[in-house]
């Protein structure tokens, strides 16, 4: 439980650091096994920035030869309208691609990514997401590997942010009082990091 100075509940741990370690280890081994017969290394595609913590741990749990590239995309503000801020440096034609996401929420981002990458003629295309918030889905989208299904709560930590903060929290926290956090974006800082502001 994470409370503010007045004792009001602001958030709680949804997935502990230990659970993350364990699940990501299992997922990494499972995915590595499914790619072990390939003649060329799969290409992991990380979607900046939230997926980077998951990516780093997942890759180290995959004991196979692999390659890595990054994309950065941004929403135009309208649902499903997305633009590429940073594209891949790799020619993905004929490659086995694994999109690495931290969270699938409405599915709009992943839907766009999958469509875009399919047009580049990869040999295969799969997705792994650490978190699946299926209750929020607007478009159905294929997700081959999932770490955790989570309820419709706002989450921060292990790469996920609120206004750029809290990515470095080692656990995933569910924010109970989002209005309180919006009012005071630093409200979790003292509780998490124990520093005076
Ligand atoms: C998050 C996440 C996904 C997307 C999922 O990125 O990394 O890319 O939102 O949401 P959707 O399913 O509703 O499209 P975000 O835009 O928060 O950027 P960040 O990773 O840089 O924090």
Per-residue pLDDT band for 194 (boundaries 50, 70, 90) equals low
Question: Per the residue annotation, which of 57, 96, 102, 105 is the catalytic one?
Answer: 105
* Structural domain harbouring 97: 2-193
Report d(CA 188, CA 197) in Å as an integer.
Answer: 11
What mean pLDDT comes out for the span 114-121? Answer: 97
Residue 154: predicted pLDDT: 95
Q: Which range, of 69-73, 88-92, 168-172, 186-190, averages the lowest pLDDT?
A: 186-190
- Given a contact cutoff of 8 angstroms between Cβ atoms, the answer to whether 10 and 183 are in contact is no
Q: Is the minimum distance from the CB of 48 to ligand 1 under 6 angstroms? A: yes
CA-nearest residue for atom 10, ligand 1, is 105
Query: 120: domain CATH number?
Result: 3.40.50.2020
User: How many domains does the structure of the chain reveal?
Assistant: 1
Residue 63: predicted pLDDT: 96
Q: Is the minimum distance from the CB of 132 to ligand 1 under 6 angstroms? A: no
7 CA → ligand 1 middle, Å: 31
Q: Is the minimum distance from the CB of 47 to ligand 1 under 6 angstroms? A: yes
State pLDDT tens for residues 9-63: 678 999 999 999 999 999 999 999 999 998 999 999 999 999 999 999 999 999 9
Residue 86: predicted pLDDT: 97
Active-site annotation holds for 152: no
Per-residue pLDDT band for 197 (boundaries 50, 70, 90) equals very low
177 CA → ligand 1 middle, Å: 21
State pLDDT tens for residues 9-22: 678 999 999 999 99
The residues, ordered by sequence, that sit 6+ positions from 78 with a Cβ below 8 Å of its Cβ are none
Rounded to the nearest 10 degrees, the angle between the axes of helix 52-60 and helix 17-34 is: 60
Per-residue pLDDT band for 193 (boundaries 50, 70, 90) equals confident
Per-residue pLDDT band for 4 (boundaries 50, 70, 90) equals low
37 CA → ligand 1 middle, Å: 32
End-to-end Cα spacing for the chain? 21
């Amino acid at each position: 439980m994470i409370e503010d100075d007045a004792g009001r509940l602001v958030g709680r741990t949804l997935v502990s650091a230990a659970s993350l370690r364990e699940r990501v280890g299992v997922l990494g081994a499972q995915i590595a096994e499914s790619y072990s017969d390939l003649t060329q290394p799969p290409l992991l595609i990380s979607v900046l920035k939230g997926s980077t913590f998951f990516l780093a741990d997942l890759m180290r749990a995959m004991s196979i030869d692999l390659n890595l590239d990054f994309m950065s995309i941004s929403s135009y503000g309208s649902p499903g309208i997305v633009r590429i801020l940073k594209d891949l440096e790799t020619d993905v034609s004929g490659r086995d691609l694994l999109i690495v996401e931290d969270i699938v929420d409405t599915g709009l981002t992943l839907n766009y990514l999958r469509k875009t990458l399919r047009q580049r003629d990869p040999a295969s295309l799969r997705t792994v997401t650490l978190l699946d918030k299926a209750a929020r889905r607007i478009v159905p989208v294929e997700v081959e590997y999932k770490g955790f299904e989570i309820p419709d709560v706002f989450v921060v930590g292990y790469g996920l942010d609120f206004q750029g903060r809290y990515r470095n929290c080692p656990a995933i926290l569910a924010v109970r009082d989002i209005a309180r956090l919006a009012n005071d974006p630093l409200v979790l800082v003292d509780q998490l990091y124990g520093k005076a502001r």
